[in-house]
Amino acid sequence: MNKKQKKMLARIIIAAVLLIVLHFVPITGIPRFICYLAVYLVIGYDIVKKAFKGIKNGQVFDENFLMAIATIGAFALAVYEKSGDYNESIAVMLFYQIGELFQSYAVGKSRRNITELMDIRPDYANIENDGKLEKVDPDEVEVGSVIVVQPGEKVPIDGVIVEGNSSLNTSALTGESLPRSAKAGDEIISGCINMTGVLKIKTTKEFDESTVSKILELIEESSSRKSRSENFISKFAHYYTPAVCYGALALAILPPLVNLVLLHNPAMWGQWIYRALTFLVISCPCALVISIPLGFFAGIGGASNAGVLVKGSNYLETLARTKYVVFDKTGTLTKGVFEVVGVHHNTMEEKKILEYAALAESFSSHPISRSLKTAYGKEIDQKRVTDVKEISGNGVTAKVDGISVAVGNTKLMKRIGVEAVECHQVGTVIHVAIDGAYAGHILISDVLKPTSKEAIVNLKKNGIKETVMLTGDIDKVAQQVAGELGVDRVYSELLPADKVSKVEKLLAKKTEKEKLAFVGDGINDAPVLSRADIGIAMGALGSDAAIEAADVVLMDDDPMKIVKAIRIAKKCMRIVYENIYFAIGIKVICLILGAVGIANMWVAIFADVGVMIIAVLNAIRTLFVKKL
């Protein structure tokens, strides 16, 4: 609990204790009135203050006004009738404040889930001053300044490395678990953690415009985009509250007047004013105006806690109605990096072929070279390698331990007069010739993510009608990947503009109620992310384009997060509708009972505070997400 909540809890306890004590103290008349008034002010002074402030500002009809009028009216009625029973008015205010405390705690828990999601905000930036490092607030660093980031520190502001080499942990931003190397001349984004060497960075943006700030802004403002359900509740409360106030006024005046003028019976003002006050308490729309936005806010909080950033409650509503999911292949369903998936030998064992290939390619920075070195898995002694020649579009020739080694494609094999064995598997084939003889080939391909197939299966279990894959790869590769994953439909050899065109055709085929989601890596897919009903970017928080274009951003590259996001959205919408039907249903029943005099103030307390607490407790269930 925060300080404000603790203060409210103390007020509730004090008021409850005083109310119990006064029940057993035998005082009457003015002393009794003063004592109960003091208890009322302890628990309700802020509500009365807000009500008067609302009247002053022209915003009369809100829940504060309803509670103030109802409780003050009940208090005045007890004075008028000389009953001395002030318990009801204080009890109404007491239980209302308990409900408000529940609501405040639930919102606070949701907010903590969101803000604690990513501990990426830097506390300081290091500026070198007379050979010493001085810690300053990142907000104070101007564009073009040189900052120093030591090992273990967060990069506070976007910039370009001017001095130093290091490895960067970017997992909080991109979802990539492997460290990323960084050297002088490379661009670097805020939020990364410097792991090894000292870096000097020339800032290219102010802190407010940096990647970290944009992400934090996205998190903090996610509740500003309202869903249709929230907008409906806001409009409903706007017209509903004045209507019930005028209805209560009519209930207090018209029946006694009719009774007096037409039937010539006593007016019974006290009885009908009491019914009107009960009617006001019952009619207070707290359960709706609090629990519905809270349901969405808790949904966003629960999603954030599960590693899914949703930009607003309107996107939760859209996500819940999603029936078609379209995937980009590379970086979404596959890892997007080359890996050795097979070594096929001819005259030499596999490990030896891989060793010769990795050593021959050890001086190259090509992605294929890096994948060979990674697959070899041992420290490479470049002293063993001489006479390295990189032939553009062919491959590499070198001498390893004095033995001639050629590593490349079929063109290189023809160039050196070696006959290569054809490989029928899908992927990039690297042929290896050793000492002038064909030794075998290494198959490299973009491998599937471990959970991609499971994600497709679970999407269908969660009501997705069709899954589609879009890719720029050749059809043979695309069909193999789609077949392994169980994707319903695949379109291959597409340019970025072709992907937009395909999504538009898919959008035209679905019904208005059905929604289409596009899932991409967020870097090259901004146009398609924007065009779909809802765009989902995977592990792309380091990309400005992803943050701007996507409606939902996943914290890592796990496709199962898509399933989790849809399940959270559906659970959130189910709870929201439960609260709407429950709150309105109970209100209508109790309003009728209150109008005819069956429901008293205690029933009114349940209809207002009781329903609100139940609705709030139901709403915060969206915070808790089951593991898949």
DSSP characters for 358-419?
HHHTTT--SHHHHHHHHHH-S---GGGEEEEEEETTTEEEEEETTEEEEEE-HHHHHHTT-P
Q: In what order do the strands lie in the sheet with 552-554?
A: 308-310, 552-554, 534-538, 515-520, 322-328, 466-470, 489-491
Q: Is 297 left (phi over 0), alpha (psi -120 to 50) or beta?
A: alpha
Give residues with Cβ within 8 angstroms of 406, minimum separation 6: 360, 395, 396, 397, 412, 413, 416, 418, 431, 432, 433, 434
User: Which of 248, 267, 253, 269 has its CA nearest to residue 70?
Assistant: 248
Classify strands 322-328 and 385-391 as parallel, antiparallel or unpaired.
unpaired
3-state DSSP helix/strand/coil percent for the chain, to nearest 5?
55, 20, 25
Classify strands 403-408 and 428-434 as parallel, antiparallel or unpaired.
antiparallel
Strand partners, 166: 182
Coil, helix or strand for 4? helix
Q: What are the structure tokens assigned to 445, written together? A: 């391909």
Give residues with Cβ within 8 angstroms of 365, minimum separation 6: none
Burial of 83: CB neighbours in 10 Å, binned 0-12, 13-18, 19+: exposed
Q: What are the structure tokens assigned to 235, written together? A: 């409009």
Coil, helix or strand for 180? strand
CB 291 within 8 A of CB 618: yes
CA distance 64 to 285: 11
Q: Does the active-site annotation cover 328?
A: yes
User: Which of 622, 583, 618, 589 has its CA nearest to residue 603?
Assistant: 589
CB 429 within 8 A of CB 441: yes
CA distance 54 to 386: 84
Catalytic residue among 62, 328, 525, 557: 328
Amino acid, single-letter form, for residue 107: V
Give residues with Cβ within 8 angstroms of 13, minimum separation 6: none
Residues with catalytic roles: 328
